[in-house]
Amino acid sequence: MISPTTDKLRTAVIDITFLLLQRQHVHESIIKQQCDKFQLPEFPEEFQNLLTTIDIINMLLDKTKQQQYLKRFLEQLYNVMDRNFKITDNDIQTSNKYFDAFADLQLISLMNEHPSMNQSFDEFISALPNESTSHSTFYKNYPLLINVPYEYIRIRAILLSQVNIFIAIAISTLDFSLLPGQSILVDYIRIVKSYLLRKVKFMWLEESLSKTEYRTDSDVPEVEFDTIQASNHDNEGKNTMFNQAFEQLHENAHNIFRSRDERLWRVKYLDMDSIDQGGPYRDSITAMCSDICSSHLPLFVLCPNGQNNTGQNRDCWIPNVFPPNKPISNKFKKQYQFIGQLMGMAIRKKHYLNVKFPILLWKKLIGEEITMKDIEAIDIQSFAIIKEMKTNLEQSQSIDGDSEINYLCTSIMSELRFDVISSSGQTYELIPGGENIPVTPRNFSEYCERYREYRLNEFGRPIEYIRQGLCSIIPYGCLTLFTANELEEAVCGKGEIDVALLKRNTVYLGDYNENSPHIQQFWTIINEMFDESQKKLFLIFVWGRSTLPTLDKDFKSKFKIQTISHDDNHQIDQMLPSELH
């Protein structure tokens, strides 16, 4: 295995070589077919592949320059492409009439979601509807593809599949643990990570997880839970199921959660006779998630939209807000890190967490910058006053100092100081002594800048601790090629219960099989009569989990339906809760 230091050194050398080529305009000349003059073949093959990958990225980002990058890409493509999938530059140019970046990403999404891709790319191409069949049903979730002729969807799918082959080669060459700004080529590839198929990302992830798996002969630790104690809530959350698990697991979680064991701890419920054959273990994770997204712990609070019952994402929980100029206690740091480690466990073991965090948290975890739009998604009023003031000031200037508007601006500003009400309700100064400094037209721009800076960084420290915990379980480089939505799905599973997926991964024991009338009625009820919340409650009741794995291959244990054995002394109705019989 290549050491991290060697990996970073190799990436730095490749970066420098690429920069030198750019500086001498060699790269541009290569694209113009002057390879021999600059002796490109003397470079290692992996470097040549990197240059081709950069061509591909340029081609994806700027279709007006596609022609200059296309020839070299196709020359390389013919060396690796199945002859059944040969495409020409004319094919690609014509497909551009139907595909922009948004249509490309919808096709990528289709390729990610369609079950045939789990078998092979050939199967996916075969599954595409041809001209004689209706497109509207097949593409109902991908509206930009509905009116695209079959042939050009096929061509585009082939192109995107081959693009992924080259980018996958580049991924294996560079060090993606480097932070944004530390490598030109790594950053370049991250720009187009939305074009990477989930299959490619997870293949690389699984390889990295295998290399960093913790191997030990020690027994799986036993974790004791006192459910009676957990029902007695206190302000610091000491009694919660989350804190009980944290106290017993956090010191060695960086090893335990990387173990090859399917279950990472055994559950012992005090004063209960349960034997942990999987159910209590899954129950304990579900209970911890319930504590995390609740007021039982001081780690997260309901977002302002939820508190005020307005706007979107009202069910999202955000990290609690701490005084900007004071350190966060070590206990809270470790608890946030433990939450990150639970996220890593979910990714490794496919036992997903039922937590509801906003997109800004997932973006920060993969090193992406958050925007004002991300803040407004959880607090619709966050920038309302600033926007109103800017509009009024602009109107005042455009109509030569209208007295009424000036009065309105002055009136509103007289109420403002250089402080801010945080997302959890506390007031903090934006500058030292800010609570006594009024906002005026002269300092309004500075106020806006400091207010915006506070809002964009309000949750920075807690999320960084979560990221540290996550990266102690999952190699950080793998995560940086995930989009925020993909990371959320890797941790939390799909937002909706996929009944067809569950059905494919169900086994029947005893007298039942998939064609039994009772079984068919059961699936009809689950699929057609249960809403999402009822489906989640059903899963929790029978399986101790509220989410499903994303892919068939991720089901480590199957869902089981079995016949209950009974005799004259064992009545079925007596096994129901007392209210139901």
Domains of the chain: 4-196 (no CATH), 222-367+460-492 (3.90.1750.10), 384-457 (3.30.2160), 499-580 (3.30.2410.10)
Question: In this predicted structure, what is the pLDDT of residue 344?
Answer: 97
What global pTM score does this model have? 0.81
Single-letter amino acid, residue 257: F
Q: What average pLDDT values come out for the chain (581 residues) when binned by 10 residues?
A: 65 67 50 45 67 78 69 63 72 88 94 88 89 77 92 92 86 83 86 91 92 87 91 87 96 94 90 66 92 94 93 93 93 98 95 94 94 95 84 65 58 82 92 92 89 95 98 92 94 82 84 83 84 78 69 74 65 53 43
Question: In this predicted structure, what is the pLDDT of residue 327?
Answer: 94
Q: Which of 365, 358, 325 lies closest to 341, judged by CA?
A: 365
Query: Residue 326: CA atoms inside 13 Å, Cβ hemisphere, count?
Result: 7
Angle between helices 66-80 and 150-173 (to 10 degrees): 80
Q: For the CA atoms of 551, 552, 556, 561, what is the dihedral angle to 10 degrees?
A: 130
Q: Exposed, middle or buried: residue 415 (CB in 10 Å: 0-12, 13-18, 19+)?
A: exposed
Question: In this predicted structure, what is the pLDDT of residue 66?
Answer: 67
Secondary structure (3-state) at 318:
strand
* Alpha-helical runs (H) found in 236-383: 241-249, 253-256, 279-292, 304-308, 330-349, 359-365, 372-376
Question: In this predicted structure, what is the pLDDT of residue 580?
Answer: 42
Question: In this predicted structure, what is the pLDDT of residue 465?
Answer: 98
Secondary structure (3-state) at 428:
strand
Sequential DSSP letters for 197-222: -HHHHHHHHHHHHHHT-B---SPPPE
